[in-house]
Structure 1
Amino acid sequence: MLRGLDIRDLLIIDRLELDFQPGLNVLTGETGAGKSILLDSLGFVLGWRGRADLVRTGAAQGEVTAWFDLDDDHPAHAVLAEAGLPSGAELILRRINTAEGRKTAWINDRRASGEVLRKLSETLVELHGQHDDRGLLNPSGHRAILDQFGALADQRQSVREAWRASVTAARQLDAARAALEQAAAEEDFLRHAVAEIDKLAPEAGEEAELDTKRRLMQAAERVRADIARAHSVLGGDGAEGAMGDALRWLEGAAEGTEGRLDEPIAALSRALAELDEASDGVLRCLEALEFDPFDLETTEERLFALRALARKHDIAASELPTLADDLRARLNAIDSGADRISELEREAKERAAVYDAAADALSDARRSAARRLDVAVEAELAPLKMDRARFETRVSPSEPGADGRDEVSFTVATNPGAPAGPLAKIASGGELSRFLLALKVCLSGESDGVTMIFDEIDRGVGGATADAVGRRLAALAEGGQVLVVTHSPQVAARGAHHWQVAKRVDNDMTLSTVTALSPEDRVDELARMISGDAITEEARAAARRLIDAV
């Protein structure tokens, strides 16, 4: 529920703060007094797209703040949660428009986009009037309105789930068919490639091992002669023999040196041990470098075959085993593809059948709800002096989708025998207002928690018809909140709270003011609406009779 509106420096308003109440709030005033400016200001803070030149002349910026009370289960909480914004029992919206046209918005003191404001506004406010392109006059919303009236949310959800399942199954079938078609087109290549790889039978890490072995064998011939010469020098005919002789000689002479040769003999013994170890290592290397020249040729042939096949497939040789597995999997997909396609076709058919059944049931329910809505609206039209008009909710086939396969439109025929047409195009201004009111009365049970605003919806009607309009607006306001901009005293008399919009001139500047009326002031305002500028006692008496008749 809208609790308050604070407007600063917008159009002809310098500063205005309004505290709205539950029930029927009426706003009256002379033409041009600024009633529409209040709606422009509210639309601005709600993010609606409207006129650009909102800032009051001479002001640096205009600002509007609106605050709402929210019940615990109000749908606005879900919008706030999705946007990552705080929520509670009170919702405060603030939006600024600079003279240069730059707009900035806050929701509960957090910066927010106009898009989030607009999403919130759909849960907070409904605007109804002759220029309403957001609500009942918007054909794109008629299907949702009919579903609300018919309490078809559960059935619509079932259709949406069936649609998602059907679309998913169809996409999986299409993907499988495309994959099978592509695989079949390259079947000859796949079988040849798999046979070629299987014949070579590459193993993981084999190419690196062959490359190392080949380089070792290539280097062997070049280094083996030097290693052999080194081994001969280290052996018994070389260093090892000479050091052994030296050790024997020193050991034989050691007794006559009183220990002076002990350390040299020990060092020489260690050197001989190290020399022996080095000689053994060199020998082992020589043995490892011995190879059959045919082995080098075989290694190179294998290595080159692996690399050639890898180049053919534009991969590294180490990836050949993985490629073989992938190609075999694609062949298996071809071999088993027909069975998989049959399975997916069966599943897609079953899913489509579930969707068809759910969509058919929803269509039947919509047609039934449409008949009930037509009867309900026409019952409301009679007291509004439109008993000869006809209202028809048309449910026609459309392309299947997540919300079924129905197109819904509200059509009217204002006179017997006249062709029916879209609500917004057939009805005149006054007729359109009454059609909208009758429709809204029938749908009112679905608008809990939403502030309804009617902008001169009583235009073109008067007398008993205006009184019927007022009665229905008051009924809509029971247990909720309705704001009405009206020129009809019969409608204004039904208001639980009455606001007067007026203009004043201050220092050659025209400003708009809004005043909450006391009971006596309210009588004078109704009298003005009855008689014009000259308020007579007869007009006051008529105003009191209107108020007393409520």
Structure 2
Amino acid sequence: MILALSIRDFVLIDRLDIEPGNGFTALTGETGAGKSIILDALALTLGAAADRAFVRAGAAQASVAAEFAAVPGHPVWEVLAEHGFEAGPDETLTLKRIVRASGPARAFINDQPVSAALLAEAGETLVEIHGQHAASALLRPSAHRKMLDLFAGNEALLDACAAAHAARVEARETRERLEAETEEALRTREWLAGAVEELDTLAPQAGEAGSLTETRTRLMQSERVTEAITEAEEALADAEIETALSKASRAAERICRLPGFDGADHPMAHAARSAAEALERALIETGEAEAAIAALESLVEHDTSALESAEARLFALRAVARKHMVDPDMLPDVLETLQERLNLVEAGEDALIRARKAESVANAAWHDAAEKLTAARTAAAAQLEKAIAKELAPLKLGRAVIRVSVAPLGEDGGAHGADRVEFDAETNPGAGFGPLRKIASGGELARVSLALKCALAEAGSAGTLIFDEADQGVGGAVAAAIGERLIRLGRTRQVFAITHSPQVAAAARSQWLVEKGRSKSGGTRLRGLDESDRQEEIARMLSGAEITEEARAAAGRLLEDA
């Protein structure tokens, strides 16, 4: 519902702030006072086309802001979420539109810039305007199916149909994928078989190419290793290191045995013993070095056949890898993939048969769900037509007939079933049925909308309804009937009616008077009326410019009856 409406510099309105309440509110006033301007301002903030003519003369811009409260689960939150707009039911929504005298118009939701299209999409879920020029959801065939489903209470059937549709879409996509894969595999079956056979014979192993590269490198360097070992052995042999160390060691030991040096604690004796020990260690280390070189020589791989074998295997792996445009270490994965594709060809017909059967079962399930939905819609359409007919007669539309048409869709249908639902109207017997929006009279259109809204009860998400001159061209009992229906709608929604009928105005829970300003600049102002002011305004509506006591008395009776 609308919590507040703020209008600035819009046509004849310089400043207007409204805080409407619940229930049915009547907007009255003399012709030309500006009732339609307020409606135009609200329509602008709901996404209607912007026009620089809306800017009040002398002002730089016009602005309109409407604050709404929407309960959790209201469609407006889904609309905003689909557009990536962050908002939730724990806050109010403010829709705002600014029209500048020069420059483009701008739209905002909660002070965040948005497109006019998003503003209109959100506004459509919040407010319905019914009148001669209002493009309400009731007049759009695209919304009729949803209204009929809400009237019929088809939520469970819709959920079942949507689930069945999702299942058949998945089954169809699975079948189409298998057909495409099998067709592609069949075209390359011979190549697949040859590739699999080649790879199977090659039997590549993970990491094998890297290991072969290391082996090949090592075998290729064996000659250089042998040369280095031979050089080391020859150097040791030519130098006769062991002979030299042995002589030196014996000489040092002789010194240690000389009189005065054996066991003496003299620096020279100590040095002689250290020299003898060092020479002994060097002799031992030399022997160990010769043994290590000999061991190294025994480890050298100098196998020409092994090198040729490693190279042949490595080159074979690389050649096949180039053919499949992968790294050699990826060949085991390639073999697995190609084997799966070949298996698909060989077992593809069975898989396709299963997929086609699953698709057939899913299609049957969807058709069953859609048929149940169609049956429920058809039954509800007949009930809705009767409910609308009961509402039309008291509104001086007894000659009109509203038909709720449930027809098969030209295409196969979808998550919402297989029906096209449309409300058609015949205003005079024999004139033929046509779209609701083709009804000629604006007053008739508003009254038909009122009848539909009453018959549809809670169908529709908008919490605010606005009727523009639904009483046009009628009076007496018909106006009273309009008022009664507006009261009925006002029990669960916020309802506004722009009216010239005293009977309709008297039926309202509250009444606002739209009047021209008294300042030199003129303009339009809006004020709420108390009981006394209401009686005076309704008396004016009854008698015209000169209010008589009889008119005041009649106005009092209307208010009492209401």
TM-score where L is the length of structure 1: 0.91
The answer to whether the Cα contact below 8 Å between 1:130 and 1:457 also exists between their aligned partners in 2 is: no
Per-residue CA deviation, residues 387-433 of structure 1 (Å, 9 max, x unaligned), is 22211111111021110010011111111122111111145323222
Q: Distance in 2 between the 1:314 and 1:122 partners?
A: 57
**Residue 31 of structure 1 aligns with which residue?**
31
**Residue 105 of structure 1 aligns with which residue?**
108
Q: Distance in 2 between the 1:452 and 1:242 partners?
A: 119
**Residue 51 of structure 1 aligns with which residue?**
50
Per the alignment, in what secondary structure is the counterpart of residue 148 of structure 1?
helix
Stretch moving more, 112-121 or 382-391 = 112-121
**Residue 422 of structure 2 aligns with which residue?**
409
Stretch moving more, 193-202 or 52-61 = 52-61
| Residue 41 (structure 1) aligned with residue 54 (structure 2) | no
- Using the TM superposition, give the Cα deviation of residue 112 of structure 1 relative to its aligned residue in structure 2, in angstroms: 6.3
**Residue 482 of structure 1 aligns with which residue?**
495
**Residue 513 of structure 1 aligns with which residue?**
525
**Residue 547 of structure 1 aligns with which residue?**
559
The answer to whether the Cα contact below 8 Å between 1:412 and 1:427 also exists between their aligned partners in 2 is: no
The answer to whether the Cα contact below 8 Å between 1:61 and 1:96 also exists between their aligned partners in 2 is: no
| Residue 195 (structure 1) aligned with residue 197 (structure 2) | yes
Stretch moving more, 319-328 or 115-124 = 115-124
The answer to whether the Cα contact below 8 Å between 2:515 and 2:525 also exists between their aligned partners in 1 is: yes
Q: Given the superposition, is the C-alpha separation of residues 468 and 337 from structure 1 closer, same or farther in structure 2, using an over 3 Å criterion?
A: same
Q: Given the superposition, is the C-alpha separation of residues 484 and 175 from structure 1 closer, same or farther in structure 2, using an over 3 Å criterion?
A: same
Code of the residue aligned with 2:306 in structure 1: it is: D
Per the alignment, in what secondary structure is the counterpart of residue 260 of structure 1?
helix
**Residue 184 of structure 1 aligns with which residue?**
186
Code of the residue aligned with 1:438 in structure 2: it is: A
**Residue 429 of structure 1 aligns with which residue?**
442
Q: Distance in 2 between the 1:531 and 1:51 partners?
A: 38
2:374 to 363, 367, 390: 363
- Using the TM superposition, give the Cα deviation of residue 530 of structure 1 relative to its aligned residue in structure 2, in angstroms: 3.4
Q: Distance in 2 between the 1:505 and 1:272 partners?
A: 128
Question: What is the correspondence of 1:250-261 to structure 2 with a 5 Å cutoff?
Answer: 250-256=252-258, 258-261=269-272
Q: Distance in 1 between the 2:234 and 2:356 partners?
A: 81
Per the alignment, in what secondary structure is the counterpart of residue 457 of structure 2?
helix
Q: Distance in 2 between the 1:49 and 1:40 partners?
A: 8
Q: Distance in 2 between the 1:428 and 1:55 partners?
A: 30
The answer to whether the Cα contact below 8 Å between 1:65 and 1:92 also exists between their aligned partners in 2 is: no
Q: Given the superposition, is the C-alpha separation of residues 426 and 117 from structure 1 closer, same or farther in structure 2, using an over 3 Å criterion?
A: closer
- Using the TM superposition, give the Cα deviation of residue 156 of structure 1 relative to its aligned residue in structure 2, in angstroms: 1.0
| Residue 440 (structure 1) aligned with residue 442 (structure 2) | no
Which blocks of at least 5 consecutive residues in structure 2 are unaligned? Answer: 262-268
Question: What is the correspondence of 1:267-416 to structure 2 with a 5 Å cutoff?
Answer: 267-398=278-409, 399=411, 400-416=413-429
Question: What is the correspondence of 1:130-141 to structure 2 with a 5 Å cutoff?
Answer: 130-141=132-143
Q: Given the superposition, is the C-alpha separation of residues 322 and 537 from structure 1 closer, same or farther in structure 2, using an over 3 Å criterion?
A: same
**Residue 457 of structure 1 aligns with which residue?**
470
The answer to whether the Cα contact below 8 Å between 2:132 and 2:441 also exists between their aligned partners in 1 is: no
- Using the TM superposition, give the Cα deviation of residue 79 of structure 1 relative to its aligned residue in structure 2, in angstroms: 6.5
Which blocks of at least 5 consecutive residues in structure 1 are unaligned? Answer: none
Code of the residue aligned with 1:515 in structure 2: it is: R
Code of the residue aligned with 1:214 in structure 2: it is: R
Question: What is the correspondence of 1:164-179 to structure 2 with a 5 Å cutoff?
Answer: 164-179=166-181
**Residue 214 of structure 2 aligns with which residue?**
212
Q: Given the superposition, is the C-alpha separation of residues 123 and 275 from structure 1 closer, same or farther in structure 2, using an over 3 Å criterion?
A: farther
Code of the residue aligned with 1:528 in structure 2: it is: R
Per-residue CA deviation, residues 339-359 of structure 1 (Å, 9 max, x unaligned), is 221222121111111100000
The alignment's C-alpha RMSD in Å is 2.7
Code of the residue aligned with 1:347 in structure 2: it is: A
Per the alignment, in what secondary structure is the counterpart of residue 26 of structure 2?
strand
Q: Distance in 1 between the 2:546 and 2:18 partners?
A: 28
**Residue 95 of structure 1 aligns with which residue?**
96
- Using the TM superposition, give the Cα deviation of residue 85 of structure 1 relative to its aligned residue in structure 2, in angstroms: 2.4
